[in-house]
Amino acid sequence: MGEKLFEDKCGACHLKSVYIKEPMDDFLKEGDKTLKLLAPTGNQMLNELKLKVGNKDDLKTQLEKTSELLIEYTFNPDIMPNLEGSVSNDEIRDINYFLFFIDKYW
């Protein structure tokens, strides 16, 4: 659910995770020629958000707070285009949930 949303709404610019084999090979062997990362990857985002809020022993609170930050950023970004109207708060919560656990997923 969150994964599909992420691919649809954010995937044009954000890769899910740098640990995907193909982009890593490209990055390391071909000097990022084909890929040219446009934007931070999904797992980079969430790692950053997790550092800002809560603590990892209280996952429920941390999950809620990272969702709030992600919503806030998506509708008030500095460089990235504002996605207001193209994605809803609930969809961002689903995306956050997916990204939150992505490190285990890969």
Query: Pattern of binders to ligand HEC over 26-65, x per CB under 6 A?
Result: ------------xxx---xx--x-----------------
Residue pair 13/37 in contact (Cβ under 8 Å)? The answer is: no
Encoded tokens for 20 = 């995907």
> Which of 62, 67, 87, 98 is in the footprint of ligand HEC by CB under 6 A?
87
Which residue number, 36 or 56, has a Cβ lying nearer to ligand HEC? 36
102 touching ligand HEC, by CB under 6 A? no
Which residue number, 57 or 86, has a Cβ lying nearer to ligand HEC? 86
Can you tell me which residue has the tokens 């708060």?
89
Residue pair 99/42 in contact (Cβ under 8 Å)? The answer is: yes
Tell me, what amino acid is at 37? L
